[in-house]
Amino acid sequence: MKYNKNHMEFLSKIWDRKNNQVLICPLCKGKMIVVQLEPIQDVENAYVPYDTIIECTHCDFKISAESFSILGSVKDFDLKYIQIASWSPSGSRVISRYEHILDYDLLKKLKESTELKEFLIVNKQVIQVIG
Ligand SMILES: [Zn+2]
Predicted TM-score of the model (pTM) = 0.76
Q: Is the pLDDT of residue 3 over 50?
A: no
- Per-residue model confidence as pLDDT tens digits over 50-100: 899 989 999 999 988 888 889 999 999 999 999 999 987 778 889 999 999
- 28 Cα: distance to centroid of ligand 1 (angstroms): 4
Q: What's the CA-to-centroid distance between 78 and ligand 1, angstroms?
A: 31
What's the 25 CA to ligand 1 centre distance in angstroms?
5
Domains of the chain, by residue range, sit at 5-66, 68-130
DSSP per residue, 106-123: HHHHHHHHT--EEEEEET
Instruction: Tell me how far the alpha carbon of residue 101 lies from the centroid of ligand 1, in angstroms.
Output: 21
pLDDT in tens, 22-52: 788 888 988 888 888 888 887 766 678 889 9
For 4-25, the pLDDT digits (tens) are: 444 444 555 555 445 555 788 8
Strand-pairing partners, residue 74, are 84
Determine the residue type at 1: M
Quote the pLDDT of residue 6: 44
What CA–CA distance (Å, rounded) separates 49 from 65?
10
Residue 35 Cα, ligand 1 centroid: separation in angstroms?
A: 15
Please, which residues bridge with residue 87 across strands? 93
For residue 99, the tally of other CB atoms under 10 A from its CB is: 14
